[in-house]
């Protein structure tokens, strides 16, 4: 029986459904920090190790105990048990944005913290291309994402998450925010700010 009160909020769903908006809102309104993940890609100007990513080489990357990891454009990306432990050494609640495959892996493998999964959805997927354009994504990248098997997979709540995930409909951000607030009340997480000014993306 798990006795911990520390909660990991996993935010999942298809690209453009508002996962990052929810994560930003949780940080601004509730002071919930995101889990820092690992990558072997080069550090970009302005990025800070331990804030944006844990920047690794192949050898140090392999030293971590990964919950999930992928290789993309020749570089490795992943989230680790070490990253979770560092986050929860500082706070009782943290968040991470994952695709649905990653969310399922977290549900199956993370048992030392309470995993609360938020599945973001939208009634009309055809508006997602417009949302991605509005946030400044490259047109070719948008077309590639929307044609991918991963996008189709992430549009629907996977069977493995039924009964584990709370579904938030993000057709309208103001209404979605109310749904998110209700979940946080259920999870006994208190707000730290009165600022609700986060736009959906």
CATH 3.30.63.10 domain position(s) in the chain = 36-90
CB contact at 8 A, 112 and 106: no
* Other residues' Cβ atoms within 10 Å of the Cβ of residue 4: 12
The pairs formed by 57-65 with CB atoms below 8 angstroms and a separation of 24 or more are 64/38
Question: Could you tell me the pTM of the whole model?
Answer: 0.85
* Other residues' Cβ atoms within 10 Å of the Cβ of residue 95: 24
User: What is the dotted CATH code of the domain comprising 36-90?
Assistant: 3.30.63.10
Q: Is the pLDDT of residue 137 over 80?
A: no
Model confidence at 3, in pLDDT bands (50, 70, 90)? low
Q: Where are the beta strands (DSSP E) in 14-65?
A: 33-34, 38-39, 54-55
**pLDDT tens across 158-178, in order?**
999 999 999 999 999 999 999
CATH 3.40.50.300 domain position(s) in the chain = 1-32+91-191
CA–CA separation, 81 vs 74, rounded Å?
23
The predicted pLDDT at position 188 comes to: 94
Model confidence at 193, in pLDDT bands (50, 70, 90)? low
CA–CA separation, 113 vs 135, rounded Å?
33
The predicted pLDDT at position 56 comes to: 97
- What CATH superfamily classification does 1-32+91-191 receive? P-loop containing nucleotide triphosphate hydrolases (3.40.50.300)
Q: Is the pLDDT of residue 198 over 70?
A: no
Model confidence at 101, in pLDDT bands (50, 70, 90)? very high
Helical H segments across 31-68, by residue range: 58-62
Q: Is the pLDDT of residue 2 over 80?
A: no
């Amino acid at each position: 029986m798990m006795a911990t009160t520390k909660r990991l909020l996993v935010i999942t769903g298809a690209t453009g459904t508002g996962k990052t908006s929810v994560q930003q809102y949780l940080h601004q309104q509730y002071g919930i920090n995101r889990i820092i993940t690992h990558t072997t890609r080069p550090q970009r100007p302005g990025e800070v190790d331990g804030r944006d990513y844990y920047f690794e080489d192949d050898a140090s990357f392999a030293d971590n105990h990964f919950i999930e990891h992928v290789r993309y454009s020749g570089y490795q990306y992943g989230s680790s048990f070490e990253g979770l432990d560092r986050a929860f050494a500082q706070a009782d609640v943290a968040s991470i944005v994952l695709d649905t495959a990653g969310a399922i892996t977290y549900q199956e493998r993370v048992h030392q913290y309470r995993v609360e999964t938020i599945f973001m959805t939208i009634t009309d997927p055809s508006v997602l291309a417009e949302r991605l354009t509005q946030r400044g994504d490259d047109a070719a990248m948008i077309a590639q994402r929307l044609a991918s098997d991963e996008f189709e997979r992430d549009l629907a709540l996977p069977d493995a998450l039924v009964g584990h995930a709370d579904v938030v409909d993000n057709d309208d951000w103001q209404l979605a925010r109310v749904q998110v607030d209700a979940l946080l009340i259920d999870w006994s997480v208190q707000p730290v700010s009165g600022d609700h000014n986060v736009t959906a993306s």
